[in-house]
Amino acid sequence: MARTPSPKKRIEELRAQIRHHNEQYYGSDQPEISDAEFDILLRDLRDLEATHPELADSSSPTEAVGAAAVTTFDPVQHRVPMTSLDNAMDESELRAWGDRVSKGLGDQPVQYVCELKIDGLAISIRYENGVLVQAATRGDGKVGEDVTANVATISSLPKKISNAPEVVEVRGEIFMSIAAFQKLKAEREAENLVRIENGRAPLAVPVNPRNAGAGSLRQKDPSITAQRDMSLWSYQLGEVVGGPEFTSHHDTLEFLRTLGFPVNPEITIVDSIEAVMQFCHSWQERRHELPYEIDGAVVKVDSLAQREQLGFTSRAPRWAIAFKFPPEEKHTLLRDIQISVGRTGRVTPFAVLEPVFVGGSNVGMATLHNRDQVAAKDVRPGDTVVVRKAGDVIPEVVGPVLAKRPKNSTPWVFPTQCPCEVKSTLVKLDDVADTRCVEPMCPFQRDQRIIYFASRGGMDIEGLGERTVFALSDAGLVVDVGDLFSLTVEQLLTLEGFAELSAQNLVASIQASRSKPLPKLLTALGIKHLGPAASDSLSSHFGTLDAIASASAEELAAVDGVGGVIAASINAWFAVPANALIVSKLRDAGVEFGRVVVSTLPQTLVGKAVVVTGTLANFSREGAEEAIKARGGKSPGSVSAKTFAVVLGESPGASKVTKAEQLQIPVLNESQFEVLLETGELPN
């Protein structure tokens, strides 16, 4: 049994680890662990030092801010130290800080300024007589790096300010927007594909906006920084000579605005810790609405006199605290890369991970998208990787932590054979990123087609989930979706997990699906490129499945929302003999081929496209879309210039919200949506 190290030895180990990770994060912009894992190390050290004060050391990382400036740039001595903030990891710690503030002020009334905690790089920007003369990183709080030439390339930063004090030092956060990060990432991945084709090693792909932004700011060539589209939010004054007198923090923010500096519009003043908590929780839920990344909220006492009274600890002000949101990125081991085959034969690589808790749930697998993405990111089995799960999206492997890559690592090679029993050759067409299994009898495709047919978006057959489909397929009871309707209770009872009642319920659910409307049936067939919206249009236009099957490509393409690609795919599907057999089985089973539901509701939304994102209280997602369609409207899955309005529920898709804002499309809440359904007009 391994011995537990002594407190002294453990403290020494933690200090060494934290110094190393500080250097990787602040000095090299190449962190080896996530922020959450670093916070745990720092907390462990603080707890041990508090328990063993005899082991205190003024040089401990708990007494320092950031890391020492590196030698890449000239050092800059901060005239006013740039302190860090203590963190509150949950509500109880935030309330405890509020209690300390109240106690320190003798129960004076307190106003708090609540700000978003931008996930970027702290910066000090100095102006003398209105001219930008110096910009420096925080460094260790006392000495930073001179990055003046690079900061001067930020378009939102004024290079000269009028009516300025003799000296004004502006402090803020330099960051890379999500759009700028995605652009940089895509460019690097595209460059890597070219490098791989030419036999050269791929370059590291930035894993998040913070690291990409920090690396961009430290470029020796300022023209490279200028290409990266960096941004700034200013949030504080440092040294000021000859300026006005201030009594509150929000006065200083207003002063920064008048000088032309960008100040975040989401800053709020509140008068209780309860209101502070509401601000923090609200933005924790809404963080993906923003076009930039935040990792928490910052809370400050507003009164400058009260700040003076509260003072500082050795490393942080007592009058401010950072409330950290749960992490959406973690580091874990990539055990293996495997592939899955979908209903259309598309082959998707996925990561088998050492399970890790991230974004509110345990993650053991994550998508890798396609073979080009694996190559461009250069992730390999055995790597320590960054895993991200923002909101409710599918977990994604962002990239490797190169500093932890095993020395004998080799690039992963995409398989050339399908893992199914047919062992067909996998094909990658030159003009697309997807790799496909083109063998129609591939059992993986067969099973996924049946699963899709039974899904909520298709025939919505309750009780026919993935596990049951696999069992039916393995037993040879179902070869295609047409076989579902001949299943009997007796056959189901031969499968493990089925009892009399569950078998009867499944057979009843399958039989009930025979009367589903034509758009549901058409979508459930799983024809490539054909989704619910085009299925609705085709059903309304042609009236029956037979009419759609016999229509020419030109006739199909002429239907609103269909076009040439979908039309060609429909023609190709019905021309396959195996698919013709499925249609025949469905017909023999009594599945309705011509049930088109005609709405009797007022057609208030004819010609209008309404996008729904997030969770509504009185509508399911499908229910909201059906309500729009029943009134003559369309409910596409994405926002475009043709969108009439966007309906916003809880936990909406960030990209849809951002796109609506960019295109200035009206955004409605649920009650406004109900007015729109009734009147067809935007509420006042």
Q: How far is CA 356 from CA 126, 144, 223, 255, in A?
A: 43, 35, 40, 45
d(CA 475, CA 480): 13
Separation between Cα atoms, residue 354 and residue 371, nearest integer Å: 22
- Antiparallel, parallel or unpaired: β 320-324 and 87-88: parallel
| Through-space distance between the first and last CA atoms of the chain, rounded to whole angstroms | 71
CB 226 within 8 A of CB 153: yes
Q: Which CB contacts under 8 angstroms, 24+ apart, belong to 671-676?
A: 672/647, 673/610, 673/612, 673/616, 673/624, 673/647, 674/618, 676/604, 676/605, 676/610, 676/645, 676/647
Which one of the listed residues 117, 324, 520, 585 is annotated catalytic? 117
Q: Taking the alpha carbons of 143, 144, 145, 150 in that order, is the dihedral positive or negative?
A: negative
CA distances from 230 to 142, 153, 224 (A): 25, 8, 11
- Structure tokens that stand for 486 in this block: 């001949």
Please indicate whether residue 608 is annotated as part of the active site: no
Helix (H, G, I), strand (E, B) or coil at 430: coil
β 643-648/609-613 pair status? parallel
Element (H, E) at 305: helix 304-310
Question: Which tokens go with 377?
Answer: 């990111």
* Separation of alpha carbons 521 and 460, rounded Å: 10
Token pair for residue 169? 């030092």
Whose CA is closest to 289, among 273, 266, 305?
A: 266
Q: Classify 40 as helix, strand or coil.
A: helix
382 phi-psi bin (left φ>0, alpha ψ -120 to 50, beta other): left
Backbone angles phi, psi at 295, to 5 degrees: -125, 15
With contact defined as beta carbons under 8 Å apart, do 85 and 303 qualify? no
Q: CA angle, 25 as apex, 146 and 334 as ends, to 5°? A: 150
Question: Closest Cα partner for 510 from 545, 490, 486?
Answer: 486
Query: Rounded distance, CA 482 to CA 324, Å?
Result: 53
* Contact yes or no for 356/330 (Cβ under 8 A): yes
Dihedral (Cα; 377, 380, 383, 389), 10-degree rounding: 50
DSSP assignment of 219-272 = -SSHHHHHHT-EEEEEEEEEEEES----SBHHHHHHHHHHTT----TT-EEESS
Q: What are phi and psi for residue 307, nearest 5 degrees?
A: -60, -45
Distance of CA 61 to the CA centre of its chain: 32
How many beta carbons lie within 10 A of that of residue 524, not counting itself? 24
- Label residue 466 left, alpha or beta by phi (over 0 means left) and psi (-120 to 50 means alpha): alpha
| Residues classed as catalytic | 117
